[in-house]
Amino acid sequence: MSIGPDSKCKYPFKGLGYENEKDTVFLKNVVKRSNVIVGDFSYFHDTNSVDFENNNVLYHYSFSKEKLIIGKFCALAEGAKFIMNTMFHSLKGFSSYPFSLFQRGWEKNFDPASLPDRGDTVVGNDVWIGYDATILSGKKIGDGAIIGAKSVVTKDVPPYAIVGGNPAKIIRMRFDENIVKELLEIAWWNWPIEKISRNISAIIGADLQKLKDAK
């Protein structure tokens, strides 16, 4: 008998008796764009709509070069948004106004190289992104990090950091440097699902040795 939810299902709460079982989805089974990549068991919850790509990944299109990459076992709360690269205007000239966008002759002055390129936006594994948080394009959020509600992430976030505010700043580290290093080496999210299922008590506990000894 299998243990745990099916990573390939769309609605992980289906059949568990929850009244609003369609408010939560495993994102990997919802996204359709090739430039949005999500790992197993990462979920998104929103009581209004779970149309994540259109409502929460903003200024990002099928032709966009940059990717949004979200790791495994991430928890994304309602209103969590990603502002992608296409939003940004060039700041190299005297005006930031996007004349070429309206064409009709204005587009001849457009130089694609003038647009900012912040690269891929990458969310690590086991990351919790709180209610109504905003992640700006090209930012890297490390494994195990927590993004506080209504935060605006304008800089990279280290692994296992708790950040909050606008702009988001480190409130504290969840664990000391040595423990973080060991957790990143263990990388439990890459274990086979059977091993994860056997060792959930160690994963959610605070006994590092028990996690290291997991079979």
Q: Domain with 137 in it: what CATH number?
A: 2.160.10.10
**Which residue bears the tokens 């935060």?**
151
Digitized pLDDT (tens) for each residue of the chain, 215 residues in all: 458 899 999 999 988 887 678 999 999 999 999 999 999 999 999 998 999 999 999 988 777 789 999 999 999 999 999 999 876 777 777 887 877 778 888 878 776 666 667 899 999 999 999 999 999 999 999 999 999 999 999 999 999 999 999 999 999 999 999 999 999 999 999 999 999 999 999 999 989 999 999 99
- The answer on 196 and 169 residing in a single domain is no
- The answer on 129 and 215 residing in a single domain is no
Report if residue 98 sits inside a domain: no
CA distance between the termini of the chain: 19
- The answer on 214 and 124 residing in a single domain is no
Report if residue 27 sits inside a domain: yes
- The answer on 164 and 141 residing in a single domain is yes
Query: Which tokens belong to 125?
Result: 């594994």
Report if residue 112 sits inside a domain: no
Report if residue 83 sits inside a domain: yes
pLDDT at residue 1, as a whole number: 40
pLDDT at residue 113, as a whole number: 65
Cα torsion through 90, 92, 97, 98, rounded to 10: -40
- The answer on 55 and 135 residing in a single domain is yes
Domain span at 197: 176-215
CB 99 within 8 A of CB 45: no
Strand partners, 22: none
Name the residues annotated as catalytic.
89
Last residue of a domain, one of 174, 190, 207: 174
pLDDT at residue 158, as a whole number: 98
- The answer on 161 and 128 residing in a single domain is yes
pTM for this entry: 0.89
Give dist(CA 122, CA 144) in Å, integer: 13
Q: How many structural domains compose the chain?
A: 2
CA nearest to 181, candidates 159, 157, 153: 159
Within 10 A of 105 (CB to CB), how many other CB atoms are there? 9
Instruction: Collapse the DSSP code of 82 into the 3-class scheme (helix H, G, I; strand E, B; otherwise coil) and give the result.
Output: strand
Cis amide leading into 167 (omega within 30): yes
- The answer on 170 and 152 residing in a single domain is yes
